């Protein structure tokens, strides 16, 4: 039986409807009390009220939470509808949320607005821990959108024997046979590390990538030259179903540095752009860059949005540290010149630290503003994406969207 709108929880439903045009809201019917309360508040839930909030989703302790942001204040609420699932990753595009089940047996595409979901199985027995995913859409000349899921398989990025397997699979939400199809892709000269999560912009997904190490000429001693690995952006075009050319980044990173991507809405909300966070592992700062122009999929220009020095005494007391492989997810509020970075608090120098907390750190042009405790981080068992082995670890929160816009796309 399909869940009702009110099964999401009243706070989440209200936040979703704050971002929906009234003409679209009238197309949806519900008999729950939450709906009745909302329809009596059209004036309160107008465009001005909606613009004060950013709504997204975040994964913590293998569960999905809705995210609310308002003038530096961050709050989360667990999504009851997905309580029965343990989630290893969450992605978002165009009002649809893609969840990867921790057991690797299924994906779930969820439309929070319509309270619909679809369960998707793999081509074989299961998905792999090292798989890379994205959700996006193609668009025809009449602006009709066809939503799709990308699965990228590359055994070069994980431990164990290299079988030279590189494969791109596409799942079309509108397809009648509900099956994956394999794209004809030769093994490229680049690779995307398995911990990297792409960012969706206007239906396409951007990834941070670098030269495939196997293709780099080693030095005389057999080592890979440090400056010999180029890093760049790659855009997967869901209409053409292929990766575009290499796009420049405004920084150069090394293996232990933290690089994460995010998307945001500029102006009135029709201009979706890309943001990149870069934090050097041996430096006492991190910076966030925003795209000025993003002509998909072959042109990009950047401007520096934020530079935060992390070497002062205030950061020692904050216990703030970017996690190289799994942390550093963030979103930006361009209008108010604020960035929110999601991490675990870090008590490295304390012999008996208190329980770690999921934390949202809020930064502005002048530096640190405040931190918000989102709840205790649990040490849970997970399957390492690199080694393929089970281990226990504390994982930081991962935010998947700050530009959520409801959609009427049917997924069930």
Span 5-60, pLDDT tens digits: 444 554 555 555 445 543 444 444 343 444 334 333 322 222 334 444 657 899 99
In a 13 Å sphere around the CA of 108, the CA atoms on its Cβ side amount to 22
Residue 383: which of 144, 52, 62 has the closest Cα? Answer: 62
Q: Tens digit of pLDDT for each residue in 202-216?
A: 999 999 999 987 766
Q: What is the DSSP letter of 225?
A: P
In a 13 Å sphere around the CA of 31, the CA atoms on its Cβ side amount to 1
Could you give the C-alpha distances from 240 to 101, 134, 148, 259, 292, in angstroms and in order?
A: 28, 15, 12, 27, 24
Find the Cα–Cα–Cα–Cα dihedral 187, 192, 197, 200, rounded to 10°.
-60
For CA atoms 127, 129, 131, 136, give the dihedral sign.
Answer: positive
| Topology, domain 57-400 | Neuraminidase (2.120.10)
Structure tokens at 182: 């394999």
Q: Are 69 and 379 in contact (CB under 8 A)?
A: no
Separation of alpha carbons 302 and 249, rounded Å: 8
Separation of alpha carbons 106 and 127, rounded Å: 7
Separation of alpha carbons 316 and 27, rounded Å: 52
E strands present in 128-174: 132-139, 145-154, 166-172
Structure tokens at 279: 């934090």
pTM of the shown model: 0.84
Q: Tens digit of pLDDT for each residue in 224-244?
A: 555 668 999 999 999 999 999
């Amino acid at each position: 039986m399909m869940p009702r709108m009110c099964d999401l929880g009243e706070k989440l439903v209200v936040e979703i409807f704050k971002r929906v045009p009234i003409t679209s809201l009238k197309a949806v019917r519900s008999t729950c009390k939450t709906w009745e309360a909302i329809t009596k508040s059209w004036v309160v839930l107008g465009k001005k009220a909606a613009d004060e909030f950013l709504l997204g989703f975040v994964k913590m302790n293998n569960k999905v939470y809705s995210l609310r942001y308002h003038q530096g204040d961050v709050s989360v609420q667990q999504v009851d509808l997905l309580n029965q699932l343990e989630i290893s990753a969450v992605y978002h595009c165009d009002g649809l949320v893609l969840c990867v089940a921790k057991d690797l047996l299924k994906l779930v595409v969820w439309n929070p607005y319509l309270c619909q979901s679809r369960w998707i199985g793999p081509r074989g027995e299961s998905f792999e821990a090292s798989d890379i995913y994205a959700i996006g859409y193609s668009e025809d000349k009449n602006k009709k959108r066809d939503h799709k899921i990308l699965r990228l398989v590359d055994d070069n990025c994980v431990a164990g024997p290299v079988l030279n397997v590189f494969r791109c699979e596409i799942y079309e939400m509108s397809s009648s046979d509900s099956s994956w199809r394999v794209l004809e892709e030769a093994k490229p000269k680049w690779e995307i590390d398995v911990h990297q999560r792409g960012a969706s912009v206007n239906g396409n997904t951007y990834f941070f990538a670098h030269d495939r190490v196997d293709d780099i000429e080693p030095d005389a001693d057999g080592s890979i030259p440090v400056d010999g690995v180029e890093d760049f952006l790659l855009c997967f075009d869901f209409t053409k179903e292929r990766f575009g050319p290499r796009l420049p980044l405004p920084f150069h990173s090394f293996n232990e540095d933290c690089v994460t991507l995010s998307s945001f809405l500029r102006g009135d909300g029709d201009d979706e752009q890309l943001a990149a966070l870069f934090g050097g592992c041996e430096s006492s700062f991190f910076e966030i860059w925003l795209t000025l122009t993003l002509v998909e999929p072959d042109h990009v220009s950047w401007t520096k949005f934020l530079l935060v020095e992390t070497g002062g005494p205030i950061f020692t007391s904050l216990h703030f540290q970017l996690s190289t492989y799994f942390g550093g997810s963030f979103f930006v509020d361009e209008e108010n010149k604020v960035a929110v970075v999601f991490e675990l608090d870090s008590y490295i120098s304390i012999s008996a630290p208190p329980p770690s907390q999921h934390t949202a750190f809020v930064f502005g042009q002048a530096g640190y503003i405040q931190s918000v405790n989102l709840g205790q981080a649990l040490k849970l068992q997970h399957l390492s994406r690199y080694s393929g082995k089970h281990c226990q670890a504390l994982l930081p929160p991962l935010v998947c969207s700050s530009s959520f816009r409801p959609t009427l796309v049917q997924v069930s």
